[in-house]
């Protein structure tokens, strides 16, 4: 079976989230995308902002996955038509596929549960306190539809990953 490299920087950093879409997804390790930063500027059908990469002077941390090439159509469908699938060079020397919003809109805010997926993925993959702090500092809004199917799927992934108290992911832990 042919596999491909995929760079996740948003909600797909959480393996349980990505495996719901691509069951073969295996973590290859932490990675960084030079020349990019994350922003929650991809317009979602639900009216919230989803993660995208924007050009920047720094390198965006994320997770490198290997997944079966025949699962790429499922990932394309999950990401949606408002993303372009692109190949980027990572700081480790690997070239990987990722998704970038076609028309970023910096006025958007992520829903709380979506941002929690991103924080959980960064925490699970030990991507560092700097990234966790930046994600936790992002403004967010509460989803007005608690029974939204995408929210329920996300909460299931968070629970499977051991983050049943997902709201706690959005706050900065108190110093000991």
Name which of 52, 48, 47, 63 is nearest 126 in CA terms: 63
Q: Is it the case that residue 93 has pLDDT exceeding 90? A: yes
Provide the greatest CA pair distance for the chain: 48
Question: Is the model's pLDDT at 4 over the cut of 70?
Answer: yes
- Residue labelled with tokens 């966790």: 132
- Burial class from Cβ neighbours inside 10 Å (0-12, 13-18, 19+) for residue 103 reads exposed
* pTM, rounded to two decimals: 0.96
pLDDT above 80: residue 174 = no
Question: Mean of the pLDDT values across residues 91-114?
Answer: 98
Could you give the C-alpha distances from 171 to 5, 30, 163, in angstroms and in order?
Answer: 32, 23, 13
pLDDT band at 173 (very low <50, low <70, confident <90, very high): low
Taking residues 58-82, report their average pLDDT.
97
Closest by CA position to 111, among listed 161, 21, 50, 172:
50
End-to-end alpha-carbon separation of the chain, Å? 48
pLDDT for res 42: 98
Whole-number pLDDT of residue 176: 46
Instruction: Say how far apart CA 15 and CA 11 lie, in whole Å.
Output: 9
**Domains detected in the chain:** 3-170 (3.10.490.10)
pLDDT of residue 33: 99
Which among 31, 24, 23 has a CA at the least distance from the CA of 7? 31
Residue 72, pLDDT > 50, answer yes
The predicted structure's pLDDT at residue 155: 98
For the segment 130-172, what is each residue's pLDDT rounded down to a tens digit?
A: 999 999 999 999 999 999 999 999 999 999 999 999 999 998 7
């Amino acid at each position: 079976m042919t596999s491909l490299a995929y760079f996740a920087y948003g909600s797909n950093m959480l393996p349980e989230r990505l495996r719901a879409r691509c069951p073969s997804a295996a973590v290859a390790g932490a990675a960084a995308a030079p020349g990019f930063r994350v922003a929650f500027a991809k317009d979602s059908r639900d009216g919230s902002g989803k993660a995208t990469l924007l050009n920047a002077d720094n390198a965006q941390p994320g997770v490198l996955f290997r997944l079966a090439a025949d699962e790429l159509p499922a990932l394309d469908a999950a990401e949606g038509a408002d993303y372009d699938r692109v190949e980027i060079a990572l700081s480790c020397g690997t070239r990987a596929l990722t998704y970038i919003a076609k028309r970023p809109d910096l006025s958007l805010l992520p829903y709380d549960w979506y941002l929690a997926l991103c924080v959980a993925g960064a925490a699970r993959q030990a991507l560092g306190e700097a990234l966790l702090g930046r994600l936790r500092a992002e403004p967010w809004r509460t989803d007005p539809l608690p029974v939204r199917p995408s929210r329920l799927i996300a909460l299931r992934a968070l629970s499977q990953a051991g983050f049943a108290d997902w709201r706690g992911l959005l706050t900065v832990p108190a110093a000991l």
